[in-house]
Structure 1
Amino acid sequence: MIFLSEELIFPDVSKANHEGMLAVGGDLSPERLLLAYKSGIFPWFNEDSLILWWSPDPRMVLFPHKINISKSMRKVIKDRQFTLTKNVDFKTVLEYCSMVDRKDQDGTWITEKMKEAYLKLHEKGIAHSYEVWEKDTLVGGLYGIDLGHVFCGESMFSLVSNASKFAFISLAKELAIKNYTLIDCQVYTEHLESLGAEEIAREDFVKLL
């Protein structure tokens, strides 16, 4: 385990252990967070833990043009059940994401310190939110870090069926038009796989960054 100093530097991702944990400590300054994402690293820790930095191998990603839109979701989109906005209410999206119950996870990793850090990145135009509305009610969304050619997805939430899927599909379609390389989904879930995401080697992921 590698402990970070105040120096703005990370060890090579190849130093991560078999679970993907790379380093401990440091801070959540905008500069360090941006360096982390550009290096294929992200923070993930509980409220009572030190800051933990991860770079798993393999890495779950979605190539935007490979987004899988099911027949049922095509109907949802066609029926215009939802509308989408971008960066209209980043703070509320962040709050909802922090309250989502996750399988095999005790509590939230989106701590108060994390919220403060990502709000700062949002103010700098680096972190973006996508909001899903049903009429005038916010029912889903996601947020992440935009590196200009790669979007690093952080979390999403859904208060009604299909709302987060709508956000993710909308994001992928937008990024495909903009010729983004990929969406970083970090780690495998069946839900992400059903949407077209796939695992690639960490070495390949870093090259694409």
Structure 2
Amino acid sequence: MTAPRDQSRGQPGLTPDLLLRAYAMGIFPMAAARDSAQIHWMSPEARGILPLEGFHISRSLSRHIARASVSVSVDQDFEGVLCACADREETWINAEIHALYMDLHRMGHAHSLEVRSGGDLVGGVYGVVLGAAFFGESMFSRQRDASKLALAWLVHRLRAGGFTLFDTQYLTPHLASLGGIEIPRARYEARLADALHRRADFQPPGYAPDAYSVRQRSTQTS
């Protein structure tokens, strides 16, 4: 299978199905800027992942999870999370990418997790699901530690649903502080191939998480 070439949504071939093929090959799309019509396909030499059994939080964040007066939901406002992730000075989410991920969400391949405080959307994360792989695309925070809360609840959900790979694309200091690591492309591709042959469920039957269980399944650090 050949890698897709740079192209815009208006050109033949750039479809949700093509995006899923790209993810299955370890490739993901990015636009140069919000107003750019060009979409580039990325496959970094060093790939960021968040090991699901190696996720850790500080004691202060653990206390924040326990005490935060927030509500957490999934797939209740996918577009709201998508727009919030793009609402920054520099973004790789252009109109074409926005439309394509909305298509993937309608197809059941893209999911969001929302964090609300007082009814307001204050944090969240969204990504793509194939097999037992979750490809994290972007996250945002409008309140202190809201994106960390979102990741803690997301990791708990992925574990419960049988996921084996949480792809973060790149490793940032923020993700490294939570246990994120980089692995070589070849090692990533092997883990991806294994995950694609497994089954997982983003909304596992009977799953009813609470703050206590989310804290208990995380490795705490000072």
- Give the drift of 1:53: 0.3
Name the structure 2 match of 1:140: 123
Residue 37, structure 1, aligned to residue 23, structure 2:
yes
Name the structure 1 match of 2:2: 10
Q: What is the distance in 2 between the residues matched to 1:26 and 1:112? A: 10
CA RMSD of aligned residues (A): 1.6
Structure 2 segments unaligned to the other structure (5+ residues): 193-222
TM-score, normalised with respect to structure 2: 0.79
Residue 76, structure 1, aligned to residue 59, structure 2:
no
Q: What code does the residue aligned with 2:127 have?
A: G
Q: What is the distance in 2 between the residues matched to 1:134 and 1:167? A: 12
Name the structure 1 match of 2:165: 182
- Give the drift of 1:178: 2.4
Q: What code does the residue aligned with 2:141 have?
A: S
Aligned residues: 186
SS in 1 for 2:56: coil
Q: What code does the residue aligned with 2:78 have?
A: F
- Give the drift of 1:23: 4.2
Structure 1 segments unaligned to the other structure (5+ residues): 1-8, 12-21, 102-106
Aligned 8 A contact 1:10 1:36 in 2: no
Aligned 8 A contact 1:65 1:173 in 2: no
SS in 1 for 2:57: coil
- Percent identity of paired positions between Structure 1 and Structure 2: 39
Q: What code does the residue aligned with 2:190 have?
A: K
Q: How does 1:108-127 map to 2 (within 5 A)?
A: 108-127=91-110
- Give the drift of 1:70: 1.1
SS in 2 for 1:122: helix
- 1:184-206 C-alpha deviation (Å, 9 max, x unpaired): 10012100100111001111111
Q: What is the distance in 2 between the residues matched to 1:170 and 1:100? A: 24
Aligned 8 A contact 2:28 2:43 in 1: yes
- 1:145-193 C-alpha deviation (Å, 9 max, x unpaired): 0113010000000000011111111111111222311211001210010
- Give the drift of 1:93: 0.6
- Give the drift of 1:51: 1.8
Residue 88, structure 1, aligned to residue 70, structure 2:
no
SS in 2 for 1:180: coil
Q: Residues 169 and 143 of structure 1: is their aligned pair in 2 closer, same or farther, counting only changes over 3 Å? A: same
Q: What code does the residue aligned with 1:110 have?
A: I
Residue 154, structure 1, aligned to residue 142, structure 2:
no
TM-score, normalised with respect to structure 1: 0.84
Name the structure 2 match of 1:131: 114
Q: What is the distance in 2 between the residues matched to 1:131 and 1:68? A: 20
